[in-house]
Amino acid sequence: MTIWPRSLFGRLMLLLVAVVALVVLTTILLFSHDRAALIARQFNDTKLVQMKALRASLEGVDGPFRRDTLARLGREYGVRIIDQRERPAIGFAPAGATLRSLEERLREGLGEGTEVRLAPRLHEIFVRLQAGGDGYWIGFPLPPRQNDVPTRALTWALTIAALLLAAAFVFASYLARPLRELRLAVERVGRGETPAPLPESGTSEIAAVNRGFNAMLASLRQSERDRALLLAGVSHDLRTPLARLRLGIELRADDARTRDGMVADIEEMDRIINQFLDFARDEADCAGDPVDVAAIVAACVERYRRTQRDVTLAAGKALHSRIKPTSLSRLVNNLIDNALAYGAPPVEVSATVRNGSVVIEVADRGPGIAAADVDLLKQPFTRASEARTREDGVAGAGLGLAIVDRIARLHGGSLDLLPREGGGTIARVTLKAAESA
């Protein structure tokens, strides 16, 4: 696990926070250094002469009036004098080069026993003097509170940091927003949807990326239109000679078995052409009014039952989803055709509601689908392994499940191919449920 964020927004925020923290720390250190320099400037040469005079006065302090004498000297020199025997330790040793240099300078002028201690709570700085064999703490007042620079520095630093962080958040959001829009658009393209063109404004880099994405999107749309036009033209051109062939076979073929076989081949070719057309259809305007899924599924099953196919239906109450009726019919028909062609009867169809979604299942009793073929079968022009082939030996176009998967994804759903208990396959389509209109 790493604290380094993966998103551009997170990295920008982390960078800006680090910069702001560095600026605040530097500001506090500079103000602290200035405060130490201000304290050091108090102890100039004049103050050193006064301290030497005070030490000389303390040489003869003794006797019963010692405490009164110390108080009098403190008033005369404007300091506080504390006998070290009464208070051996006070404050803490100074940190920082400036105050340590001050201590060295005082030690050179007043003797080796000189020490400097800071007492912020008393708002004083103490200097230890050695006089007459005794030690004394001499307390000097620190600069007044209004000149206490660190407090003001911290207040201003925190205020500036808050303003900079707010500005950094807005700036990072502004930079990351176009990338979020691009990511969402790319995800929609990956799902087979057609997103709206991205705005070609903003920074030059983002505008260039969006222009490239829009150009790619336009190329994809043109390729889709060209593909649909090509397939429609091929299908139209093939159907005319197919119709003539069928008519000629029915009128002239004397062998009924040969005639029926040739008619079946022509019907299979026509079915493949229909699959090409279904796959080429533009599903861009897929979201419509809610439709009764159960009714459309029942109508599809009824068409197969009229032709004596072993297809049964188990549908519940009315189910609704936002999908075009023609798209739903193509979806169900392709699932049933696939189950009849590659599986084995009986084919059981059901439409139910599970966890707030509409679930359509088509189950057969065929040999099943190998796990390695599940994802392959959702791709166009691909077929399963020989473990699942048609009984009549016709290869097919390999578009049936690809059409189902595409329709499901364009309507916010999914297609799953699952093994069936007892043998066979369950083709399950999950769609978003909707309230009835």
Task: Using CB atoms within 10 Å of the CB of residue 106, give its burial: 0 to 12 exposed, 13 to 18 middle, 19+ buried.
Answer: buried
Question: Looking at residue 347, what is its pLDDT?
Answer: 92
Most confident of 142-156, 288-302, 396-410: 288-302
Helices (H), 254-399: 256-280, 293-306, 325-342
Mean confidence (pLDDT) of the chain: 76
| pLDDT class of 168 with cuts at 50, 70, 90 | confident
Task: Please tell me whether the overall predicted TM-score, pTM, comes out greater than 0.85 for this model.
Answer: no
Average pLDDT on 2-30 reads 69
Question: Looking at residue 363, what is its pLDDT?
Answer: 94
**CATH code of domain 285-432:** 3.30.565.10
Calpha distance 376→338 (Å, rounded): 15
Question: Looking at residue 106, what is its pLDDT?
Answer: 79
Radius of gyration of the chain, Cα coordinates, nearest whole angstrom: 45
| Domain 43-143 annotated CATH 3.30.450.300 | yes
How does strand 320-322 pair with strand 347-354?
Answer: unpaired
Calpha distance 20→12 (Å, rounded): 12
Question: Residue for token digits 């369950």?
Answer: 426
Q: If you write DSSP's letter for every residue of 29-81 in order, what string do you get?
A: HHHHHHHHHHHHHHS-HHHHHHHHHHHHHHTT--STTHHHHHHHHHHHHTSEE
3-class secondary-structure state, position 124: strand
Average pLDDT on 12-37 reads 68
Amino acid in the structure at residue 169: F
Question: Among 380, 370, 291, 290, which residue's Cα sits nearest to residue 334?
Answer: 380
| Residues above pLDDT 70, as percent of the chain | 69
Topology classification of domain 193-282: Helix Hairpins (1.10.287)
3-class secondary-structure state, position 338: helix
Question: Looking at residue 405, what is its pLDDT?
Answer: 87
Q: Range with the lowest mean pLDDT among 5-14, 86-95, 228-237?
A: 228-237
Domain boundaries, the chain: 43-143, 193-282, 285-432
| pLDDT class of 6 with cuts at 50, 70, 90 | low
Per-residue model confidence as pLDDT tens digits over 186-225: 888 877 677 888 888 777 777 888 888 888 888 887 777 7
